[in-house]
Amino acid sequence: MTNLYLLRTAALLVGVSAFTTVAVASDLTAVPQPPDFPAQTKVQYVDGKAILEYKALPAYNEPAWVKKNFVDAGKLPPVKDRLPKEPMVYKTANMADGIGVYGDTMRHVIGGRPEGWNYWAGQTQGWGGIDIGLSECLTRTGPLFQVKADDLQPLPNLAKSWEWSKDGHTLTMHLLEGAKWSDGVEFTSEDLMFYWEDNVLDTNVKPLNGASPETFGVGTTLKAIDKYTVEWTFKDAFPKQFIYNMAYGTFCPGPAHVLKPQHPKYSKNTYDQYKNAFPPTYMNFPVMGAWVPVAYRPDDIIVLRRNPYYWKVDEKGNQLPYLDEMHYKLSTWADRDVQAVAGSGDFSNLEQPENFVESLKRAAQKDAPARLAFGSRLIGYNINMNFSANGWGDPDARAQAVRELNRNEHFRKAVTMAINRKELGDSLVKGPFVATYPGGILSGSNFYDRQSTMYYPFDLEGAKKELAAAGLKDTDGDGIVNFPANVNGGKNVEISLLMTNDYTTDKSLAEGVVAQMQKLGIRVVLNTQAGKDRDQAAGAGKFDWEVLRTSAELASVVQNTPQLAATGPRTSWFHRANNKNELDLMPFEKELADTVNKFIVASDPKEQAELMKKYQKIYTTNVNTVGLVEYPGALIINKRFKNVPPGTPIYMFNWAEDSVIRERLYVPVADQGDYQLFKDMLPGKPGGDGPQK
Ligand code: GLA
Ligand code: CA
């Protein structure tokens, strides 16, 4: 991409708008064609098998200082004994710049804060790629953006291969043999069984990314056959979709040897004590990932050093990662963009349109330290309405009355018709990036079909009629409609909108919604929370409406597929079961769930495509969510890094922190910066003070 190209893009931003002006008419139509936008990079598609393999190599290498200071000094076994029998080998042909060299640091900036390391019991580690890097999962999906849709299959990772029984009800998985945690303890099927039995099946524990037994299908079982073999059984035949859920973030086991002794089943701890047993100050927490946390300074930085037991190598036998150190500066998400374009940070997912103009201008300059490349429109925002009317989250009388409204189709139609999406888009950024989004599958997805994407155009008068049809009238003339006299005391309709203030975009959109709903005659009150508290409240069902950025299933469809609908008691973001495990689905939600379940067991790509068209039509016609806007994101990465796969989207199957394959990135010696805080040091003892020399 040339600088000139970026400059033109920056100029375009002040030009035309992405929204086609439509005649005022509330008739259901297909959504307008989203406009093209420039500066989009192309992906180089590869065969799924071209990325990696597992095999023993004749010899292995590691950084000279590890050999000299640790192996030769008797502190660490030789590298060949630290690697599994057959390590994962990245193929050189799939590496943009080829075999790398050791050294340097990747400086991340994040807006989250670590609660602790117990991800399996629901603690956030701060997001922004920390947990993605620490945890390795049975399979991997981030890099699949470069694999053509008809060749798609999850990549092997901790599970190096798998096969189906003849009848398709049993899946046997073979784990990497002889791989070790970063403290040298062997990784085995026991780690998987502890995660499954005591963290997923034990519903007192709520893993961070919401893994539940149903994430892998209702009635699914898992058992260990031996140290390196496990067996899944499924109710349906060949539910291949679930193998995608064994990738980030729903099947990434933790170190059983460290976690188990703290779990209530094996100790006197309460569930809360288990969750909090590994605070952020606990250093050298054992991981399977490429880097281990060795230093933490509150509101300042988390530092990670290379994992000497990492189980991946390049074709020359060099143990990965190439980068010796990782930084996570504890700041804000907006600052991540600013630092990445300025060169004081190395990486950002440019995902807040409020920062597009400045970032594009800086990246277009000749001396710009970072590359900036847009992907397709794969970020969207929705208002999710809480659809549970049977007790999820213990609503009081007012909240219960709102839940009933949320389930009324006239009400949902009124809300979506009262949303002026052009105005919302312009409040983020002017120009061709932000487009109308009626909810459902995002337009950048391989499964998107515009003709199946139905949309109720902006029409405030029509919206008011729908509101009246829902039984709402302003009986006291104060401009806000009232509940019918026999509901919630006939009071004004007041709705609480759950949101996070971690992102400017969430704030801009939520405030826009408040103003637009005021015009419709509905009072919306913001319930603003820090990200982690928002997630807690949402997961517990404590909200009327929430404004929420889309996640993987609406972009990739094949990742986290069960979350596309209420396919189980805990799979939907906004409709979960009450404490008796009862789910009160409306007829269209039942249809959505049936369609998704058919997709999960469908093997023909054509059939899958048709099912998703059907899903999209049911979703958008019934206003399953009130879509707001969608737009592309751009990956910003410092120019000194090599092996960045061309066209990496910031979010498709997973976030770019996974998709770029950080363990393969490197910096040529001449370009290496002097950023390492713990040069020539390795992680120390789990729970100890920090790194060792
Ligand atoms: C946050 C950021 C994203 C991405 C993810 C990774 O959600 O907003 O851009 O970095 O963390 O988990
Ligand atoms: Ca009123």
Longest distance between any two alpha carbons in the chain, whole Å: 84
* CB of 630 closer than 6 angstroms to any ligand 1 atom: no
- pLDDT (average), residues 250-275: 98
Residue 24: pLDDT band with limits 50, 70, 90:
very low
* CB of 502 closer than 6 angstroms to any ligand 1 atom: no
- pLDDT (average), residues 198-204: 95
Q: From 113, 349, 378, give the residue whose CB has the most ligand 1 atoms within 8 Å, as the site to mutate.
A: 349
Instruction: Write the CATH number of the domain with boundaries 383-431+454-630.
Output: 3.10.105.10
**d(C-alpha 131, C-alpha 399), whole Å:** 35
* CB of 328 closer than 6 angstroms to any ligand 1 atom: no
* CB of 531 closer than 6 angstroms to any ligand 1 atom: no
If you ran DSSP here, which 8-state letter would residue 391 be given?
A: -
Question: Ligand nearest 503 Cα, by number?
Answer: 1
Omega before 249 within 30 of 0, i.e. cis: yes
pLDDT in tens, 303-331: 999 999 999 999 999 999 999 999 999 99
* CB of 127 closer than 6 angstroms to any ligand 1 atom: yes
Q: From 505, 636, 655, 657, give the residue whose CB has the most ligand 1 atoms within 8 Å, as the site to mutate.
A: 655
Q: What is the mean pLDDT of the chain?
A: 94
- The topology under which CATH files domain 48-342+638-692 is D-Maltodextrin-Binding Protein; domain 2 (3.40.190)
Residue 20: pLDDT band with limits 50, 70, 90:
very low
What pLDDT is attached to residue 23?
40
What pLDDT is attached to residue 148?
85
pLDDT in tens, 211-234: 998 899 999 999 999 999 999 999
Closest ligand 1 atom to the C-alpha of 333?
Answer: 8
Sign of the Cα torsion 520, 522, 526, 527 reads negative
Cα of 547 vs centre of ligand 2, distance in Å, is: 24
- pLDDT (average), residues 82-104: 98
3 pLDDT above the threshold of 70: no
pLDDT in tens, 460-478: 999 999 999 999 999 999 9
Q: Which string of DSSP letters, residue by residue, matches 82-146? A: HS-SS-EEE-GGGSSS-S-----EEEEEES-----S-GGGT----STTHHHHH---SEE-GGGGG
| Angle subtended by helix axes 504-520 and 460-469, to nearest 10 | 70
Q: Whose Cα sits closest to atom 4 in ligand 1?
A: 128
What percentage of the chain carries pLDDT values higher than 90? 91
- pLDDT (average), residues 184-204: 97
**d(C-alpha 150, C-alpha 302), whole Å:** 40
Q: Of 37-41, 191-195, 605-609, where does the model show the most confidence?
A: 191-195
* CB of 244 closer than 6 angstroms to any ligand 1 atom: no
| Number of C-beta neighbours around residue 525 at 10 A | 11
pLDDT in tens, 344-393: 999 999 999 999 999 999 999 999 999 999 988 999 999 999 999 999 99
* CB of 54 closer than 6 angstroms to any ligand 1 atom: no
Phi/psi for 158 (5° steps) reads: -70, -30
Q: From 107, 125, 127, give the residue whose CB has the most ligand 1 atoms within 8 Å, as the site to mutate.
A: 127
What pLDDT is attached to residue 4?
46
Residue 579: pLDDT band with limits 50, 70, 90:
very high
**d(C-alpha 118, C-alpha 134), whole Å:** 11
Question: Ligand nearest 481 Cα, by number?
Answer: 2
What pLDDT is attached to residue 34?
85
Cα of 416 vs centre of ligand 2, distance in Å, is: 21
If you ran DSSP here, which 8-state letter would residue 625 be given?
A: S
pLDDT in tens, 668-677: 999 999 999 9
* CB of 115 closer than 6 angstroms to any ligand 1 atom: no
Q: Which helix (H) or strand (E) holds 375?
A: strand 370-385
Identify which has the larger pLDDT, 37 or 121.
121
Could you state, in order of their start, the residue ranges of all structural domains in the chain?
Answer: 48-342+638-692, 383-431+454-630
- pLDDT (average), residues 587-606: 96
What are the tokens at 455?
């949309």
What pLDDT is attached to residue 37?
77
**d(C-alpha 348, C-alpha 109), whole Å:** 8
- pLDDT (average), residues 503-532: 97
What pLDDT is attached to residue 15?
43
Cα of 424 vs centre of ligand 1, distance in Å, is: 23
pLDDT in tens, 126-151: 999 999 999 999 999 999 999 987 78
pLDDT in tens, 422-458: 999 999 999 899 999 999 999 999 999 999 999 999 9
Q: Whose Cα sits closest to atom 8 in ligand 1?
A: 128
Contact, 59 vs 78, CB < 8 A?
no
**d(C-alpha 540, C-alpha 399), whole Å:** 14
What pLDDT is attached to residue 688?
85
3-state class of 390 per DSSP?
A: coil
If you ran DSSP here, which 8-state letter would residue 262 be given?
A: G
Identify which has the larger pLDDT, 167 or 1.
167
What does each C-alpha distance from 205 to 37, 276, 277 come to in angstroms? 44, 12, 13
Residue 38: pLDDT band with limits 50, 70, 90:
low
Residues 6+ apart with CB under 8 A from 452: 30, 613, 614, 616, 617, 620
Q: Which string of DSSP letters, residue by residue, matches 279-330? A: -TT--S---SSSEEEEEEETTTEEEEEE-TT--EEETT-BBSPS--EEEEEE
pLDDT in tens, 644-669: 999 999 999 999 999 999 999 999 99
498 DSSP β-pair partners: 527, 546
Residue 36: pLDDT band with limits 50, 70, 90:
confident
